[in-house]
Structure 1
Amino acid sequence: MSDAQPTGSAPDAAPPAHGHEANSKLTLASALGVLGVVYGDIGTSPLYALKASLLHFEDGGIERWEILGVLSLIFWSLMLTVTVKYVMVIMRADNRGEGGILALMALAMRTTTTTRGRWIVVMLGIIGASLFFGDGIITPAISVLSAMEGLKVVDPIFEEAVVPGSLLILIALFAVQYRGTGQMGKVFGPICALWFLAIGLLGLWEVLLHPSVLLALSPSYAFNFVLHYHTAAFIALGAVVLSVTGAEALYADMGHFGRRPIRIMWSAFVLPALALNYFGQGALLLREPTAIENPFFLLAPEILRLPLVVLACLATVIASQAMISGAFSIARQCVQLGLLPRLVVRHTSATEEGQIYVPQINTILLIGVLVLVLEFKNSDSLAAAYGFAVTGTFIASSILATIVLHRVFGWSMLRVAVVFVPLLLLDLGYFIATALKVPDGGYVPMILGLITFAMMATWYQGRQLLFQRLRQDSLPLKSFLARLPQSRTIRVPGIAIFMTGEKDFLPGALLHNLKHNKVLHEKVLFVTVSNEDIPVVGDARRREVVELAPGIHRVMLHYGFQESPNVPRELETLNAEGHIAFEPMQASYFLGRETIVQAAVPKLWKWQQWLFRAMQRNSMPATEFFRIPPDRVVELGVRIAV
């Protein structure tokens, strides 16, 4: 059938309402929730970021000024990229309280009226989402591997257990996804709170013993490091960016907790803990350069190293879980925004709409993660593959944010330029630095991103061509209604529901039904599911009913990009509200099943045509996606050339 076509709201100069901001007070529950969901990824970066940044310079020994220079780069990356860019600036650009690259794309599309402009905005959103999926595969692999490598510090005899242990943890993590995260979520927050407290205290102890390491707070050490190494400094910068992976989560998870708790917990707890741990590792390296083997775990006294490994494994599982849940959410948003075909989406909670399980995405992530662990075998090698996806998302977010803050939130061009030109230059520096690692492993996220981009761009372009062809081949609804009184069409008892993505055109299924059966039901509903560019559509705006002719109604059902449609439930609600006398057992749903064939002058490349047809064949059945009872469905096929 014709999928619901994404439709944006009319351009609106006023900023969107901040739906969650009024309830975003900092409570103990929200503070623990923020730690467990938002900061899991960036919170585990100290496991590998400083070590990876200095490994390139260990030949001949690491000098004091090199350690201070890299520490200064890490600290100011945290300050500029996370604190300034995300916490202070981009989190202002929320879509009715929700954040994330696709929410930003939807906001930008709202004020973009030209076809070329909308295409550019959509491509930026697709790039960001594609790279997010690449990041979603690498994050669990590098996080769990780096935690398990702590076993080698406890006792070298455990070295052979690192890879098998990592594989077992990751397989178990993905295997329980179908159960949902409700029960696990209750312990995520306290564990992450303990994690940040532990790494902060370990770093503080070493800093107190060697306070000279705090000289790295001065940006002059970062500048001297870059000026001394010139091009080689980009190698270090490509690893320094590992310290800010997960920054996108601050913005993406804003809808769950609100802006204020995320900001407060970053400034008051997470940033100090991270900074102390990095400086503690630096102080340890100043005192004992051989600790470069694993400065994070060597910070702890020998008696505490095994408990720290266990805590690190728990923290990395939580970070991985947050990334997996984020991938499920992004996948559903892509479907609702018309960037991916219909996917199976299972709700794992009776009360929480956001807790979902997407089997296809879970399987793809699991296969990708296992392949990476088996291929790279240690976090140092995998670190070369990390960062490319993150920095690409940084650039896409910055460009979209400039559009949104200028056009939607009314920032002047001067203000936008003053804020974002330096941030974009920093993002570009990160991106170039990670691009240099492509031969050493950076090709992994690049390939993953390119594959995902090709799929999403092809699906979006193909659906646009499909809707265009359907409009060309269809009869305008007004013309049909005008001719209906003069026709001798027989009306038969019952309710016929025609699902259509084009509310102003007659559904192809109705034309075929009239052609072959020569009848029209007494009650006819033209139902269109409209995907809006806001996260959630309130119940007051969900349903629109217009009587087009006696017994014929148009029903518009509006859903946000974080919602899943349920057509029968909404039609029963219309009955309860007195709009239409709807009897579910008298209703028949007429769906059109399109078969795509090649047009005489195709507008897609041959590989795109093959990919588009393959994605359509494997798309989730419309009956399941729209929750339509399969025993009430009549499907009519049609061949469409694109």
Structure 2
Amino acid sequence: MSSSHTNPNLSFRSQKLHLITLAALGVVFGDIGTSPLYALKECFSPDHGIAFSPDAVLGIISMLFWAITIVVTIKYVLFVLRADNNGEGGVLALMALSLRSAVSGSPRAKLLMMLGVFGACMFYGDVVITPAISVLSAVEGLEIAAPQTSHVVIPLTIIIVMVLFLIQRHGTSVVGKFFGPVMFVWFLSLALLGLYNITKAPEVLVAINPYYAVRFMLDHSLQAFIVLGSVVLVLTGAEALYADMGHFGIKPIRYAWIFTVMPSLLINYFGQGANLIANPDAIKNPFYLMVPDALVLPMVLLATCATVIASQAVISGAFSLTSQAILLGFVPRMRILHTSEDEQGQIYIPLINWMLLVVVVAVVLAFKKSDNLAAAYGVAVTTTMVITTMLLGVVMRHIWKWKMPAVVVAIGCFLVVDVAFFAANLLKLTEGGWFPLVIGGAAFFLLMTWYSGRMLLRMRIKDDGIPIEPFIEGLLAHPPHRVGGTAVFMTGNIATVPVALLHNLKHNRILHERVFFLKISIWDVPYVADSERLTMKDLGGNVYLLRASFGFKETPEVNKVMALAEQQFGHHFDLMDTSFFLARDTVVPSKLLGMSLWRERLFAWMYQNGAKPSDFFNIPANRVVELGTKVEI
């Protein structure tokens, strides 16, 4: 007997999928969703030297259509989203995944690591430019609605940007609920405006045929190559589809793109093209001049909301990327605040926030117009795209076990497109393209200096260290005076005796009743299951070696380790009876073999100014004993 009732679980899952998809609209697609404000306008920039004609409009619209189809839909949505590191995406997660194919410390591993880190550093260039270009381009709509207000564009942009950064410490959970619905209204408006304008010149729809893009490139080969540098602006934010995968999952991102974002964007670009064919004067601002006069001001307001949401998404992305980089060992420890009790991923890093605010305001004042920023934007986007494709090739071959010819064909096709976009943007180096390269290059230098310095410091401590097991054996054979309570010695190397223990024995001549050597490791996976988190070795005499592992998306908290050790190994920890011993190393640059002296000085400065381990691991301040030591590198 058949039942007419639907499965309630299926209905619930379907409802939940709709809600997650709506949320993804607000976070993932803000950047790419606001590209219609400036992308087509930039393609017809007078600097490109393309004579305006209906054929040129059809050629460029065809290029936009196929760029979105090949790069976003085929490359990112169908291929890159499959390269998840335990559900997480982004260039650092892709780097960690590709590193599994290389021997640790080998030249190949170093190359893959440097590629991934440079890709992450170029994202910081993107983070600086996105709020500036998107908010500027939205507010510039005022010049269309009321030309006499053009003098307020820059001050208003700066006010919006400052408010945006000032609210970061309160977290995005409150305003985040509105992001999805606002972006849905934005995409709906893009589609309706596009349809309204397509009726003016329906012949624009023939641009779906790639023939028009190919013919345009053959007829205007040099100009078409230059225009590629602006066509790439329709792809800004494609990397966010992959970077935010951990927050929403593959399905909601794919659904949102295929059923809402891509159709809305394409219809709007075709609408802008149709309006240009019918009204060539609209070239001054193709987006706002496609809007009926009565709706320009409401559209400026909606566009401003959409650009603020796009900016919010990349700022959150910068916090998330910095947190991952800290745990993977590329950035000094920083103060990280959690802004939501429910969402682990919602964090705020004060230092990064204020640095970004200063740089973004400086960028708005220096570049003044969204047109001037377009060149800088393209370089940041295309560099990350090329690096993602190269790392994807490694994953296809070594992780997915694809046959070499299939990898060569797939990656070859993607690289041809990516490198063409990248090369076209290199032509704009003098026009502002240098800016993201300077930011990315400076960040890369600092990250690699920190990473190399840490490796050097670890090597020096290991070389000077005393093997732990024979030392404890000898110590227990002739033990010093033992006092009540528990001592936890934080260590970076489980094979050697922590310097803090040596200092404690030398100065205080005591050993606690229970001693734990605690090593916190960060694995190249986003999350570690509690069942795999802890391992413990009994060294005898109530002395234990405890190792705790965390993923690069987790917060390594000592309290969590203590609670789990109690649960798994039966060791009760009373915080009021436990002391945490930390060695506070002072790094001394020297002429020993390692980095150049000035880089060692820079590393020493970064090391001394990083957040204290006690703050980073959330150890109660009144239970910490810090013992200083000097290490020459």
TM-score of the superposed pair, with normalisation by structure 1: 0.94
Following superposition of structure 1 onto structure 2, how do residues 413-562 of structure 1 map, counting pairs within 5 Å?
Answer: 413-562=404-553
Q: Give 2:80's aligned amino acid.
A: I
Deviates more, 1:335-344 or 1:491-500: 491-500
CA distance in 2, matches of 1:322, 1:144: 13
Q: Following superposition of structure 1 onto structure 2, how do residues 117-516 of structure 1 map, counting pairs within 5 Å?
A: 117-516=108-507
How far did 1:224 drift? 2.2
Q: 1:518: Cα distance to partner?
A: 2.1
Identify which of structures 1 and 2 has the higher relative contact order when contacts are C-alpha pairs closer than 8 Å and 6+ apart. 1
Supply the AA of the counterpart residue of 1:485: L
Is structure 2 residue 596 aligned with structure 1 residue 605? yes
Q: Per-residue deviation at 1:560?
A: 0.8
Per the TM alignment, residue 43 of structure 1 is displaced from its structure 2 partner at its CA by: 0.2
Q: Are 2:200 and 2:275, in contact at CA under 8 Å, matched by a contact in 1?
A: no
Match of 2:57 in 1: 67
Residue 607 of structure 1 deviates from its aligned partner by: 3.2
Q: 2-side partners of 1:25 and 1:427: how far apart?
A: 37
Q: What is the CA distance between 1:578 and its match in structure 2?
A: 4.7
The count of residues paired between Structure 1 and Structure 2 equals 621
Q: In structure 1, what is the Cα distance between the partners aligned to 2:348 and 2:48?
A: 44
AA partner of residue 203 (structure 1): G
More divergent stretch after superposition (593-602 vs 87-96): 593-602
Partner of 1:41: 31
- Judge conservation of contact 1:23–1:258 (CA < 8 Å) in 2: no
Q: Deviations over 1:386-415 (max 9, x none)?
A: 111111111111111111122112222221
Indicate conservation of the 8 Å contact 2:589/2:601, yes or no.
no
Contact 2:48-2:226 within 8 A present in 1 as well = no
Match of 2:5 in 1: none
CA deviations on 1:453-475 (whole Å, 9 max, x unpaired) are 01111111111111111110111
- Is 1:103 aligned to 2:67, yes or no? no
Runs (5+) with no aligned partner, structure 1 = 1-21
Distance 1:322 1:294 in 2: 26
Instruction: Give the superposition deviation at 1:477.
Output: 1.3
Shift of 1:232: 3.1
Contact kept in structure 2, 1:527 and 1:554, CA below 8 Å: yes
SS of 1:589's equivalent in the other structure is strand
Q: Which amino acid aligns with 1:556?
A: R
Secondary structure, aligned partner of 2:45: helix
3-state secondary structure, aligned to 1:555 = strand
**CA gap 1:60/1:82 in 2 versus in 1, 3 angstroms:** closer
Q: Deviations over 1:513-540 (max 9, x none)?
A: 2222222111110101110111111222
Aligned partners of 2:370 and 2:494: how far apart in 1? 53
Give the match's secondary structure for 2:198.
helix
**1:349 is aligned with what amino acid?**
S
Deviates more, 1:218-227 or 1:529-538: 218-227
Query: Does the 8 Å CA contact 1:25/1:260 hold for their aligned counterparts?
Result: no
> Does the CA contact (< 8 Å) of 1:26 and 1:261 recur in 2?
no
CA–CA distance in structure 2, aligned partners of residues 513 and 413 of structure 1: 57
**Deviations 1:110-157 (CA, angstroms, capped at 9, x unpaired):** 231152122112101110110001100000000000000000110101
Q: State whether residues 143 and 316 of structure 1, in contact with CA within 8 Å, keep that contact through their aligned partners in structure 2.
A: yes
| Secondary structure of residue in 1 paired with 2:44 | helix
Q: Distance in 2 between matches of 1:60 and 1:590?
A: 69
Tell whether the 8 Å contact from 1:200 to 1:277 is kept in structure 2 after alignment.
Answer: yes
SS at match of 1:385: helix
Superposed CA RMSD in Å reads 1.6
Cα distance in structure 2, aligned partners of 1:404 and 1:23: 31
Compare 479-488 and 505-514 and name the one that shifted more.
479-488
For 1:441, give the aligned amino acid: G
1:50 to 7, 21, 40: 40
Q: Take 1:23 and 1:244, find their aligned partners in 2: how far apart are those partners?
A: 31
Q: Give distance in 2, aligned partners of 1:457 and 1:38.
A: 29
Match of 2:564 among 562, 566, 573: 573
Counterpart residue number, 2:3: none
